[in-house]
Amino acid sequence: MKVLFATSEACPFAKSGGLADVCGALPKALRKRMVGARVVLPLYSTIGNELREKMTFVCNITVPVSWRMQYCGVFEAHENGVIYYFIDNEYYFKRDGLYGYYDDAERFTFFSRAVLEIIPHIGFKPDVIHCNDWQTALIPIFLNEMYKADPFYADIKTVFTIHNIQYQGKYGMEIYGDVLGLPEGREAIIEYDGCVNFMKGAIQCADKVTTVSPTYSREILDPYYSHGLHSILGEFTYKSTGIVNGIDYDEYDPETDTLIYKNYNADTLKDKKVNKKKLQEELSLPQKDCPVIGIVSRLVGHKGIDLIKCVFEELLKADLQFVILGSGEWEYETFFYDMSQKYPEKVALKLGYDNKLAHKIYASADFFLMPSKSEPCGLAQLISLRYGTIPIVRETGGLNDTIKDSADGEGNGFTFSNYNAHDMQNAVWRAIGCYDDKKGFEILQKRAMACDNSWKSSANCYVKLYKEIIEK
């Protein structure tokens, strides 16, 4: 079985969020299950020289983008046992960032056509193209409308995974002919609510549609979560499923992680306390025995940051400390900066993203706060469990599938269901109460570290899914 992952980002080459972690780790897990998994992504100028030195030139072709014919170079690299292909076109991808440009529709139209066009030239014909989020949503559409008549492409199947339904690839209908170049009279495939909607077209055309957790798969049938796509999703529930993400257990391993202060495992939790003291020292917090709550997140509303803001000073009345890493909306960045200045002995803030510091927070904090309004899957809570850092989460999406409240003596974290600041606050108070019971807290930490959130189970689910559509 051969699977080609089409993605706009993948670790370690390009990352803006959890999509990169998934597309870097899942192909590696599939290869361990005898699946020939390879990855294709754009050759961004932000990819560093150290990684570029691993690439070799494969070929160059021209790719149609409606009436245009664009250069497409193809490079190849091997990383963690996986072959990666890179689509080169400096006009589209020699930019400072990955997304956010006026011509993103054209950029990822080019990328989607290029993925299909390079297949005859790379010596790898996939049984399945696994597409991820709106940036690759055109691939199932183009395959069905422009390539299936060619016997070479006729038996290729597609899977489309929704990592975040909020970003759909919505544009004006004027790009239908000038950019997409789809056949005349086929507008209905990609039109939705008077707009071109890449994701809608993929939901309609892909052989299977997946989301990154079972709960999220159900939630997005509700208008509250669907960002307008509930009706089309309801129409195609027969081919939809939810498979929870895993994490890379090689990258996130407290016993071997080179980015943390001191390695440890479930039997040497005293060394986790060493990490805590070192983090307090590095961030100029008092080195004391009190609960440290970590937050590694984009500071935006749907991550529940407004709930934290609402009761933050009330929480700070307790003997605890917050360590916050992230960036996002000005309102929240400013709020946490003000709090770090007003309460320097209780609040440490680093704006931006720092992978090394993120690892240190996962390894050093006692609790990890993640009160999301919506969360397709979430990786941070899974990483926290791996390091014995207890998640405090809202019961939504993948958080609901992976974190169970410890009130029953069997759970692995603290949860609340209503999107309410005081419900969240109560979950924090319960967590602090557990921290004060040193013996009980250590039992909870060991239970958290015993959870298996590797890609083992999820990769098996994908293998089953691929076989189902290949054999159909």
The per-residue pLDDT for range 41-64, each reduced to its tens digit, is: 999 999 999 999 999 999 999 999
Angle between the 305-315 and 421-436 helix axes, to the nearest 10 degrees? 50
CA angle at residue 137 from 135 to 138, to 5 degrees? 100
Do 174 and 203 meet the contact criterion of CB atoms below 8 Å apart?
A: no
Element (H, E) at 92: helix 90-93
Arithmetic mean of pLDDT over the chain: 96
* Residue recorded with tokens 């589209």: 92
Mean pLDDT of 18-24: 94
Query: Closest by alpha carbon to 81, among 14, 29, 22, 10?
Result: 29
SS3 240: strand
pLDDT at 254: 98
Q: Is the pLDDT of residue 396 over 90?
A: yes
Question: Beta strand 390-394 with 56-65: parallel, antiparallel or unpaired?
Answer: unpaired
Cβ contact 8:132 at 8 Å = yes
Average pLDDT of the segment spanning 245-273 = 96
Closest CA to 52 of 76, 20, 32, 87: 76
In degrees and rounded to multiples of 5, residue 334 shows phi and psi of: -65, -40
Closest alpha carbon to 447 in 384, 385, 395, 391: 385
Query: What is the tens place of the pLDDT at every residue in 123-180?
Result: 999 999 999 999 999 999 999 999 999 999 999 999 999 999 999 999 999 999 999 9
Once rounded to an integer, what is the mean pLDDT over residues 430-454?
Answer: 96
Quote the CA–CA distance of 79 and 56 in Å, as a whole number.
Answer: 13
What are the helix and strand counts (H, E) for the chain?
Answer: 19, 18
How far apart CA 108 and CA 301 sit, in angstroms, is 27
CB atoms within 10 A of CB 278: 17
Categorize the per-residue pLDDT at 408 as very low, low, confident or very high, splitting at 50, 70 and 90.
Answer: confident
What single string gives the DSSP state of each residue in 11-37?
A: TTTB-SSHHHHHHHHHHHHHHTTT-EE
What are the angstrom distances between the C-alpha of 327 and each of 14, 127, 302, 376?
A: 18, 40, 14, 20
Residue showing tokens 């970590």: 294
Residue indicated by tokens 């370690």: 12
What confidence score (pLDDT) does residue 186 get?
Answer: 93
Please, are residues 304 and 394 in contact by the beta-carbon 8 Å criterion? yes
- Cα–Cα distance measured from residue 405 to residue 417, given in angstroms and rounded to the nearest whole number: 11
Q: Is the pTM of this model over 0.85?
A: yes
Handedness of CA 99, 243, 374, 253 (dihedral sign): negative
472 has pLDDT over 90? no
Q: What are the residues whose beta carbons fall under 8 Å from the beta carbon of 272, sequence distance 6 or more? A: 254, 264, 363, 364, 387, 388, 445
Q: Which residues pair with 129 in a beta bridge?
A: 4, 158
pLDDT at 172: 96
- DSSP, residue by residue, 158-178: EEEEES-TT---EE-TTHIII
What pLDDT score does 23 carry? 96
Q: Is the pLDDT of residue 407 over 90?
A: no
State what percent of residues in the chain have pLDDT above 70.
100
Structure confidence by residue, pLDDT tens digits, 309-360: 999 999 999 999 999 999 999 999 999 999 999 999 999 999 998 999 999 9
Q: In the numeric block, which tokens belong to residue 354?
A: 């720092």
Rounded distance between C-alpha atoms, residue 457 and residue 322, angstroms: 34
238: left (phi over 0), alpha (psi -120 to 50) or beta: alpha
pLDDT tens for each residue of 444-461: 999 999 999 999 999 999
User: What is the distance of C-alpha 288 from the center of its chain?
Assistant: 34
The per-residue pLDDT for range 191-241, each reduced to its tens digit, is 999 999 999 999 999 999 999 999 999 999 999 999 999 999 999 999 999
Q: State the DSSP H helix or E strand holding residue 118, giving kind and residue range, or none if neither.
A: helix 104-118
